[in-house]
Amino acid sequence: MIEIEDVRKSFGSLEVLKGVSMTVETGEVVSVVGGSGSGKSTMLMCINGLEPIDSGRILVDGTEVHAPGTDLNKLRRNIGIVFQQWNAFPHLTVLENTTLALRKVLGKSKDEADAIAVKQLEHVGLGDKLKVYPSKLSGGQQQRMAIARALAMEPKYMLFDEVTSALDPQLVGEVLDTMRMLAKAGMTMIVVTHEMAFAREVSNRVAFFKDGLIHEIGPPAQIFESPERPETAAFLKSVL
């Protein structure tokens, strides 16, 4: 379970998160939608401790992320995250990209790591690209590789930050399919996305983010069909 409690965060004088609270239950898929610059990416980076926070707290399975004694490297093994772009390590092949953390972080042998990586890469349809460098992959393939690489660590949670936003339209489907598969398999996910149809289809709940606050959170039917807040309605009208 991920518990976000009244989190505030500023970059200099710009307050980006203004008291965000949200709980994500194990097995749940929560989509986060909202305008550009509203603080969605920042929130994800706070969850795995890539960004510090100013006040409030975030608990992952009861461990306070920003407490001084927390072993963030250990915590992060449980939280896979895929960014909008530049996920791939360009100097490593697809297989090496996927095995590096298995070997250096989890201490697995080369054979063990290879076996895990090949399984994950085949799962996302990259079984024939093992020896290829990322520069030879399409954007969609790179994103699927990033997903496989994160999954290889067997995380309990997966965070997605607009993973299809930088893709050509014809490549979006293959990445969404991969995430759909994952949601069906019961992975706990937080999905920041602009793909409203996808959010509606896979999410248990949808959170609407605006100006550093969650204005409304609820089942997709509520958010998309009868939003309680006028801001939510206005946002949906602008994107649908």
Partner 1 sequence: MFNINYTFHWNQAFRALPDMLEGALITLQIAVLSMLIGIVVGVLLALAKEARFAPLRWFANTWIEIARNTPALFQVYMIYFGIPAVLQLAASLFGIDFRALGINIFYLDSYWAVLVGIAFNNAGYLAETFRGGLRAVPPTQTRAARSLGFNAVDSFRLIVLPQMFRAVFHPMTNQMVWAILMTSIGIFVGLNTDLTGITQELNARTFRTFEFFALAAAIYYVIAKIVTGGARLIAWRLFRY
Ligand X SMILES: Nc1ncnc2c1ncn2[C@@H]1O[C@H](COP(=O)(O)OP(=O)(O)OP(=O)(O)O)[C@@H](O)[C@H]1O
Site of interaction with ligand X (CB under 6 A): 11, 16, 36-42, 162
CB of 139 to ligand X, least distance (A): 17
CA distance 161 to 142: 14
CA distance 124 to 223: 31
CA distance 208 to 66: 25
Residue placing its CB nearer to partner 1 in the complex, 45 or 59: 45
CB of 6 to ligand X, least distance (A): 17
Binding string to Mg ion for residues 28 to 67, with x set by CB under 5 A, is what? -------------x--------------------------
CB of 191 to partner 1, least distance (A): 16
Choose the one of ligand X, Mg ion, partner 1, none that binds residue 37, judging by a C-beta under 5 to 8 angstroms depending on kind. Answer: ligand X
Contact 89, 97 (CB under 8 A): yes
CA distance 68 to 47: 15
Q: Which residues bind partner 1 (CB under 8 A)?
A: 45, 48, 50, 73-74, 76-77, 79-81, 83, 85-87, 89-92, 100-101, 104-106, 133-135, 146, 149-150, 153
Contact 96, 103 (CB under 8 A): no
The alpha-carbon radius of gyration of the chain (Å, integer) is 18
